């Protein structure tokens, strides 16, 4: 069963929420964000070594606890908050666990992959760089394209979420708020680099957790407690509202979410940024600790969506979280909620921007410069300048596309389709000692074609679904995993060297 999401908020919803806060307050939040973030970026820039590598990776200079908190903040993005709430609003009680289960499962796969990859290539700056050394230039090109596209569209979704939140709570223009927020984040990262994103993200996540711990009991009490929520769900008319698991929720959400984000911890440049920032050998603590801290957040967001459903709100699914707070909370609490939501989103967009810049410089510019100009060395100041200019470019483009308005939940599914075809080729190339690069490349190509046809084109509305969406994801997983595995088992060729070398500028 496929649930559709409206792109225009119903008139009834607008009548119910004519108590929106004064737009001046929303602009004040954005202005204060700029006043705080930009001077911090300048300070972080002065604290670093002012090299291109420090700007892009902050290599092994961040404490494990700070990196853990920052990684958790990175994972608390628009889909975790607004998407989980949207799932609770559309499906009901299954939101208590469906989205939250993705990351622990992904961590089980991701931790050994990350540890081995870093042992193989300790001086790498991006995960496509590791793949390029392992399976060759063609595979590197595919991974580079997917990594940039994934981070770019993650950034778009999160910038778009800023507009959704401020429009729902303050009645502010979606496109205007997106432009302002995009400008703040872009300037911030262009000055401070990945170090600024990591440090501020760690502070923001602590504030968010404290706020949610305080606000959730109040919210549940305001609607009459768990029994009142259950009664409201039962009366909502949604067949799955009171069931923890059902056929519709499995095929309409669970298998789609797991299919699209089972690679969440290792096919994700935001994660690798934090991995490169901590000392080698600390990867397991980083991933496991961040995962355990993250799990309650989508559960809480799902409960908020369930409250919206139980209250009978008639609205666009992506707006249910701000709408619930707007209806139930006094204005001063709502302002705190807005600040924390924006802080988490800003943190994610910051790392997306930084990741796009790092991949562009290390996986596109440097190889091309060396190949075309036959240069063996680079001017580090020029590379640093290019990294900052690329941040500005990607930030402007993200902001422009983010002025659109789409379903957060299902737009993220379309993004997930980009990463599925490279998931198992990456795992196999890292964990298997002897591989067949042709089989890995063939699996990726056929997997990409399958993903485009079965998932991406249907999700953007270009074609009708040839199969249910969940089947499209898992067909792609099967193709991109089985072909490389068979080739590597039956016709293994190159043997992994003890350590793959890369040069750090």
Which tens digits make up the pLDDT trace of 214-242? Answer: 788 888 888 899 999 999 999 998 999 99
Q: To which residue do tokens 């924390």 refer?
A: 340
Domains and CATH numbers, the chain: 60-495 (1.20.1730.10)
60 Rama sector, left if φ>0, alpha if ψ -120 to 50, beta otherwise: left
Return the exposure string of 45-65: e unless at least 16 CB atoms fall within 10 Å of the residue's CB, then b: beebeebbbbbbbbbebbebe
Q: Indicate the SS3 state at residue 155.
A: helix
> Among 40-54, 213-227, 262-276, which is the least confidently predicted range?
40-54
Categorize the per-residue pLDDT at 8 as very low, low, confident or very high, splitting at 50, 70 and 90. Answer: very low
Q: What is the pLDDT of residue 489?
A: 94
Q: Residue 390 CA to chain centroid, in angstroms? A: 20
Q: What is the pLDDT of residue 496?
A: 54
In the chain, % of residues over pLDDT 70: 87
Nearest partner of 318 among 410, 244, 437, judged by Cα: 410
Residue 336 or residue 30, greater confidence = 30
Give the tens place of pLDDT for each residue, 67-112. 787 788 777 776 787 778 888 999 999 989 988 888 888 888 899 9
Q: CB under 8 Å to 40, separation ≥6 — which residues?
A: 188, 192, 196, 200
Q: CB under 8 Å to 216, separation ≥6 — which residues?
A: 300, 303
Give the tens place of pLDDT for each residue, 327-378. 887 877 778 778 777 877 887 888 888 889 989 988 888 887 776 665 555 6
Nearest partner of 446 among 416, 422, 414, 415, judged by Cα: 422
**Contact by Cβ (8 Å): 105, 287:** no
Torsion angle, alpha carbons of 249, 250, 253, 258, to 10: 160
Token digits of residue 120: 């193989």
Distances (CA, A) of 60 to 53, 125, 360, 363: 11, 11, 21, 20
Torsion angle, alpha carbons of 16, 19, 25, 29, to 10: -30
Q: Indicate the SS3 state at residue 495.
A: strand
**pTM, full prediction:** 0.78
> Among 78-87, 144-153, 160-169, 372-381, which is the least confidently predicted range?
372-381
> Among 28-37, 196-205, 224-233, which is the least confidently predicted range?
196-205
22 Rama sector, left if φ>0, alpha if ψ -120 to 50, beta otherwise: beta
In whole angstroms, give the CA distance from residue 267 to residue 110: 9
In whole angstroms, give the CA distance from residue 58 to residue 278: 9
Cβ neighbourhood burial of 302 (10 Å; 0-12, 13-18, 19+): buried
Cβ neighbourhood burial of 362 (10 Å; 0-12, 13-18, 19+): buried
Q: CB under 8 Å to 77, separation ≥6 — which residues?
A: 154, 157, 158, 344, 345, 348
In whole angstroms, give the CA distance from residue 238 to residue 80: 22
Average pLDDT, the chain: 82
Q: CB under 8 Å to 165, separation ≥6 — which residues?
A: 82, 321, 322, 338, 341, 342, 345
In this predicted structure, the answer to whether residue 16 has a pLDDT above a threshold of 60 is: no
In whole angstroms, give the CA distance from residue 286 to residue 65: 8
Nearest partner of 398 among 342, 358, 349, judged by Cα: 349
Distances (CA, A) of 56 to 130, 264, 353: 16, 21, 10
């Amino acid at each position: 069963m496929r649930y559709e999401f409206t792109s225009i908020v119903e008139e009834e919803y607008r009548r119910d929420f004519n108590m929106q806060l004064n737009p001046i307050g929303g602009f004040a939040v954005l202005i204060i964000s700029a006043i705080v973030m930009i001077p911090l970026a300048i300070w972080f820039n002065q604290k670093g070594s002012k090299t291109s590598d420090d700007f892009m990776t902050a290599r092994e200079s961040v404490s494990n606890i700070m990196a853990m908190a920052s990684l958790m903040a990175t994972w608390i993005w628009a889909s975790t908050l607004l998407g989980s709430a949207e799932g609770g609003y559309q499906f009901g009680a299954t939101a208590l666990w469906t989205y939250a289960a993705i990351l622990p499962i992904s961590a089980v796969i991701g931790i050994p992959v990350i540890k081995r990859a870093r042992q193989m290539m300790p001086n790498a700056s991006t995960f496509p760089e590791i793949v390029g050394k392992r399976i060759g230039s063609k595979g590197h090109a595919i991974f580079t394209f997917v990594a940039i596209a994934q981070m770019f569209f993650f950034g778009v979704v999160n910038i778009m979420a800023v507009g959704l939140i401020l429009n729902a709570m303050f009645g502010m223009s979606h496109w205007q708020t997106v432009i302002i927020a995009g400008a703040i984040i872009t300037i911030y990262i262009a000055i401070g680099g990945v170090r600024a994103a990591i440090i501020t993200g760690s502070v923001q996540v602590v504030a968010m957790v404290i706020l949610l711990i305080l606000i959730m009991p109040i919210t549940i009490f305001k609607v009459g407690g768990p029994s009142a929520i259950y009664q409201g769900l039962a009366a909502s008319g949604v067949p799955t509202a009171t069931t923890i698991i059902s056929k519709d929720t499995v095929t309409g959400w669970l298998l789609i979410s797991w299919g699209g984000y089972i690679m969440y911890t290792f096919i994700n440049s935001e994660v690798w940024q934090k991995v490169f920032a901590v000392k080698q050998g600390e990867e397991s603590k980083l991933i496991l600790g961040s995962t355990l801290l993250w799990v309650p957040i989508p559960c809480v967001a799902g409960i908020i969506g369930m409250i919206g459903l139980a209250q009978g709100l008639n609205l666009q699914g992506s707006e249910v979280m701000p709408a619930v707070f707007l209806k139930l909370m006094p204005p001063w609490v709502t302002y705190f909620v807005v600040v924390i939501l924006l802080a988490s989103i800003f943190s994610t967009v910051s790392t997306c921007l930084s990741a796009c810049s790092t991949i562009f410089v290390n996986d596109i510019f440097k190889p091309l410069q060396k190949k075309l100009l036959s240069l063996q060395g680079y001017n580090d100041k020029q590379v640093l300048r290019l990294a900052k200019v690329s941040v500005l470019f990607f930030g402007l483009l993200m902001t422009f596309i983010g002025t659109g308005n789409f379903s957060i939940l299902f737009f993220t599914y379309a993004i997930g389709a980009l990463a599925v075809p490279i998931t198992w080729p990456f795992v196999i190339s890292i964990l298997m000692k002897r591989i067949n690069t042709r089989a890995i490349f063939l699996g990726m190509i056929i997997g990409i074609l399958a993903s485009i046809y079965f998932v991406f084109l249907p999700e953007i509305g270009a074609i009708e679904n040839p199969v249910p969406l969940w089947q499209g994801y898992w067909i792609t997983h099967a193709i991109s995993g089985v072909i490389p595995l068979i080739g590597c088992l039956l016709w293994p060729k190159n043997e992994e060297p003890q350590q793959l070398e890369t040069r750090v500028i």
